[in-house]
Amino acid sequence: MSPSRRHQLLAWAVPRLRRSGELESPEVERARLVEAHARAPGGLPTRLVPRFARRFSVVTEVLKGAAGDFSSYVVTPRGTDPQRTVVYLHGGGYVSGIDPFHVRYLARLATALGARIVLPDYPLAPEHTWRDSHDPLVDLVARWTADSGELILAGDSAGGGYALALALALRDRGGPQPARLLLHAPWVDLTTSTPETAAFSAEDPWLFLGKLHAYAAWWAGSPDDLARPEVSPALGDLHGLPAALMFCGTRDTLAPGCRLLDRRAAEAGWDLAYVERPGLIHVYPLLPLIPEARDAWQRTLEFLT
C-alpha cells in the first residue's frame, strides 16, 4: 500500500518545520543543545490539547537522579478513578524534551483507555547520560506497577528504546511486571550495528545519521556503554518480557534496528507484534490527520484493551 497524500505532505513539511538537518560538528551541536536546554520553559506543553486544564489534572512528582532531581508528571482525566496506568517515555533522541505532539497523543490515549499517564521529564544529553535517570525510572515503573493495577509501558523513538531498557531491568529485578509494551519506532540499537542503517538513512527526511551517532555517544557517556542493554536494549536478553506491539515505517533510519529487535524477539520467544509500513516516516502513528495513524491507533486500542 502506497503512503497517503496527507502522509507525503507531512513527510515534506515536518522536517522543515523542525529545521532538521545533518550535523555540522559535534561541538556546534553540543553548544546548540546546551543553549536550547537552558532556554526551555519546562512543564507540560499542552497547547495542542483543547481545554486541557478542564479535562485533566496534573500532579508533579520529583525523582532523585544521580545528577540531581527531575520531574515526572501524572496526568489523570478529571472525574475518573483509573485502574490502568501508562508510563510513557518521550522521544527526542535523548536530547529533546517533551513535545506538544506527545501530550496530544497521550491525552487521546488517557481518554480512550480511561487511564492515568505518567510522563517522566528525564534529564537530557549532552549534559546527562543514561546513568543519571535509569535507576530512579526503574523504581518509578516498579512502584506504579505494584500500586495501580494494570500498567502499560510505552514510548516513541529514543523513549521507546528507554521503555524497553526499563522493561529489561524490571524483569531482571523480579516482582510485578508491566502488562504490555507499546513501542513507536523505538531506538533500540545505539551502536548502529545493522549494516542497512546507512541506506535507510539516505531515504529518511527527518533523522540524520551524523546526529544520531553524536546523540548516542553522549547518552551512553562512554564507548564501553553503547552496547549495554540499558542503552541498546535490542542487544540484550529478550526472554521473559511482556507482550509488545511495535510500529515503524521504512522511510526511517531506525527501521533496521526495529527489524533487528523483531528477529531477536522471535529467537527469544518474546511475543512481539511488529507492524512495518512501507514508505512511512519516523513515528508516523503520532502524526496528525493521516489515515496511517488512524490505522495504527485502532491496532493500538485493540492491543491494549
Q: Which positions ≥6 away from 50 have C-beta within 8 Å?
A: none
Confidence bin at 168 (pLDDT 50/70/90): very high
CB contact at 8 A, 196 and 226: no
Q: What pLDDT shows up at residue 154?
A: 98
Q: What pLDDT shows up at residue 147?
A: 83
Q: What pLDDT shows up at residue 175?
A: 86
The arithmetic mean of pLDDT across residues 17-45, rounded, is 94
pLDDT digits (tens, 9 = 90+) for 232-264: 999 999 999 999 999 999 999 999 999 999 999
Q: What pLDDT shows up at residue 82?
A: 94
In this predicted structure, the answer to whether residue 206 has a pLDDT above a threshold of 80 is yes
The arithmetic mean of pLDDT across residues 78-106, rounded, is 96
Report d(CA 110, CA 183) in Å as an integer. Answer: 16
In this predicted structure, the answer to whether residue 120 has a pLDDT above a threshold of 90 is yes
Only one residue has cell 529533546, namely 96
pLDDT digits (tens, 9 = 90+) for 212-229: 999 999 999 999 999 999
In this predicted structure, the answer to whether residue 148 has a pLDDT above a threshold of 80 is no
Residue type, 186: P
What pTM, to 2 d.p., does this model score? 0.97
Q: Which three cell numbers stand for residue 118?
A: 505518567
In this predicted structure, the answer to whether residue 208 has a pLDDT above a threshold of 80 is yes
Residue 303 neighbours by CB distance under 10 Å: 16
